[in-house]
Structure 1
Amino acid sequence: MAEIDHIVVGARTLEEGAAFVEEHLGVKPRPGGVHAGFGTHNMLLGLGRACYLEVIAPDPAQPEPEHPRLFDLDDPAMKLRLEAGPGLIAWVARTPVMDAVVARLGPRAGEVKSMSRGDLSWRMAFPPQRQDMDNLIPALIQWQGEGASARLPDSHARLLRLEGEHPEADSVNAALGERGLEEALKVRRSPHARLVARLRRPDGTEVTLSSG
């Protein structure tokens, strides 16, 4: 079993990402922290007790990491895209049974990485590069104890639903089904791949964030 844990907004800097979120949702994300050794840092916005939004950007205070930064932040195409401004780039799904999922999927699950920030700790498995179907197949996360969303103040913004578009929609939906995520993201066939998040601002108006 898996479910939506959080959505990810990428940015060149946290300042740019925070301004983007405030412009679109009307609320400011709060400081998160540093992903030591991974070359990134983040800010967070609570979307209720079980979901949140993460703004992630390269951390200029850290040395270049040994491996590419998460969420393709070092990819030339992603860098070019974020030059134009922050935007929705990915989503992450939560599972309480990471080992069972990895055992079932084998190499398709990706390498499991242990991460921590302050007193939060978790494990993540990112799909192998170029097998994430343009970031429509999410990284999986298993929190060790309480997760980030439970500690965040409620912004009163809400994620209403996630949608996807992809030229190979059937393949994407099959991969989501293998991970128990067929209800979390509905993908329809389209010439261009994109992730779409429908959200409600605290004032009740609805907004859309899209990866393309």
Structure 2
Amino acid sequence: MNATRAAIDHVVIGAATLEEGAAFVEALLGVAPGAGGAHPGAGTHNRLLGLGQGCYLEVIAPDPAQPEPALPRLFGLDDPAVRRSLRKEPGLIAWVARTSGLDAVLTRLGQDRAGAMRAMSRGSLSWKLADPPAAAGFGGLLPGLIEWGQPGPPGEIPGHGCALLAMEAEHPEPAALAAALEERGVREVLGLGPGPRPVLSLRMRRADGGEAVLRSP
């Protein structure tokens, strides 16, 4: 059974601090991401940069103003290996696909494959998000899945000319990864090829019109 079709919602840059993450993006794309906000109870905060066509870049980091959350921070930010990597340099750690059928996907795939659903909100925005566990496999190349509540996803986020031009992945078993992406309705949005280890790669237009490539660690 095919999944409900989904689209890229955002890509995720993890950082030890929000300031380090913003500086990393500014060096890469020529413009700093704008204000985002805190995720109450989740232990994180973010900054955002539009990438065109309803897609955006999120810089996310632990929020020192919040107590330790009851659940692990999203996108593996509490994983010791991820924390060590991000202390050296911010990096591409995840991507998230937007769907209107999150409950159906979670029912079909199960929590062990799709992750547990979290209900989150900030101001007038509300959303449900499932972040796939590391045990789901594929080295972090599977997307988190997000479903926005009313009034819907954020409006156009300023990008100052930046855009996501292509997103590709390498994996030792690209056919198996393709099948897992198809189950989530996102096979068409990610170019796939063979490689010795899992790698996610973004090709983006910079604010000055040039191009930048960012690969996961």
TM-score by length of 1: 0.95
Give the counterpart of 2:36 among 28, 32, 37: 32
C-alpha contact (below 8 Å) 1:48/1:155 kept by paired residues? no
| Counterpart check, 1:182 vs 2:187 | yes
Matches of 2:65 and 2:138 in 1, distance apart?
A: 32
Q: Which amino acid in the other structure matches residue 153 of structure 2?
A: G
Structure 2, gaps ≥5 residues long: none
Aligned length: 211
Shift of 1:69: 0.8
Give the counterpart of 2:109 among 82, 95, 105: 105
Shift of 1:180: 1.2
Q: Which amino acid in the other structure matches residue 109 of structure 2?
A: L
Q: Any idea what the Cα deviations from partners look like across 1:25-53, whole Å, max 9, x if unmatched?
A: 01111110111111100000011240000
What residue in structure 1 maps to residue 200 of structure 2? 195
What residue in structure 1 maps to residue 153 of structure 2? 147
Give the counterpart of 1:165 among 152, 163, 170: 170
Q: Which amino acid in the other structure matches residue 45 of structure 1?
A: L
What residue in structure 2 maps to residue 206 of structure 1? 211
C-alpha contact (below 8 Å) 2:54/2:156 kept by paired residues? no
| Counterpart check, 1:130 vs 2:135 | yes
C-alpha contact (below 8 Å) 2:204/2:212 kept by paired residues? yes
Give the counterpart of 2:68 among 64, 84, 94: 64
Identity over aligned pairs, percent? 56
CA 1:195–1:49 in structure 2 vs 1: closer, same or farther (change >3 Å)?
Answer: same
Q: Return structure 1 stretches of 4+ with deviation > 3 angstroms.
A: none
Structure 1, gaps ≥5 residues long: none
Q: Which amino acid in the other structure matches residue 148 of structure 2?
A: W
CA 1:113–1:132 in structure 2 vs 1: closer, same or farther (change >3 Å)?
Answer: farther
Q: Which amino acid in the other structure matches residue 190 of structure 1?
A: G
| Matched residue SS, 1:155 | coil
